[in-house]
Structure 1
Amino acid sequence: MITSRSEVTVRYAETDMMGVVYHGSYLPWFEIGRTTLLREQGLPYRSLEEMGYRLPVLEVTAKYLRPAVYDDTLTILTTLREKPVLRIVLEYEVRRGDELLATAKTTHAFIDREGRPVRPPPHFAERMNAAFAG
């Protein structure tokens, strides 16, 4: 299992007329969590793209438990529980301090520039094998 931690501060543009974070605003935060986790593993998303790989979202689920509001400092905990083979499944927790505000899960596929499903690049597989060996 691999876990990563990212922080965001809620911007005014991410809130709705009620002053609460709009539900769609969470999706970019999940992306921050995903790309940070990959970068911390020595797998920056930019490098994957330069090699011709993409990781489109196949599925996203989210459960909103408590509202976040403007200027909150939030922690995005991103977890990769299983070693990815053809797909990568990430889980997220959005927290304000110790308070759990939302949970989510995204599933991504590896594709090439033409949109065909492919296996991850060899160095990605090597990094994941090392991370999940222990």
Structure 2
Amino acid sequence: MSGVFTHRLRVRYSECDQQGVVFNGQYLFFYDVAVTELWRDRVGPYQEMIDRGFDLVVGEARVRFVEGARFDELLDIEMPVHHLGTTSMIIKPVFRVDDRLIADGEVRHVFVDPTTLKKKPMPPDIREALASSAV
């Protein structure tokens, strides 16, 4: 499978604030769902990676808000892998409703040992699997 992975979700009422738009903090939750689905699609079950002695932690996250998504809209989250380093990767998510840009950003993940949480080099097979989503 190649190309940028996109995950679609429907905005639920409970995710909206008093202004009737998605509360800003929800976008990182939406991102977390999308990265889990990216992993499932391109790499495989997340637990298998943990069983092999690798995990991911977020080292940095930034979200730029452009327009608010609203209740019951379909939100597409594009997940382009922007950078694959030795121990880290950067994904630059783009959130859209139809052609409307809702938000975008950048999230840096670091590969770690699940027990010690010390950095580890990215496994070659994971690098290869994610390269298909790279831009």
TM, length-normalised to structure 2: 0.86
Q: Which segment drifts farther, 88-97 or 28-37?
A: 28-37
Aligned length: 131
Query: How far is the alpha carbon of 1:91 from its aligned partner?
Result: 0.6
For the residue of structure 1 that corresponds to 2:96, the secondary structure is: strand
Letter in 1 for 2:123: P
Letter in 2 for 1:98: D
Residue 44 of structure 2 corresponds to residue 43 of structure 1: yes
2:125 alignment counterpart? 123
1:98 alignment counterpart? 99
Letter in 1 for 2:56: L
Alignment map for 1:1-80 (pairs within 5 Å): 2-80=3-81
For the residue of structure 1 that corresponds to 2:90, the secondary structure is: strand
TM, length-normalised to structure 1: 0.86
- The alpha-carbon distance between structure 1 residues 85 and 98, as it changes in their structure 2 partners (threshold 3 A), is same
Runs (5+) with no aligned partner, structure 2: none
- The alpha-carbon distance between structure 1 residues 86 and 60, as it changes in their structure 2 partners (threshold 3 A), is same
C-alpha RMSD of matched pairs (Å): 2.0
Query: Contact 2:94–2:105 (CA<8 Å) still a contact in 1?
Result: yes
Identity %: 26
Query: Contact 1:92–1:104 (CA<8 Å) still a contact in 2?
Result: yes
Aligned-partner Cα distance in 2 for 1:122–1:15: 40
Aligned-partner Cα distance in 2 for 1:38–1:104: 19
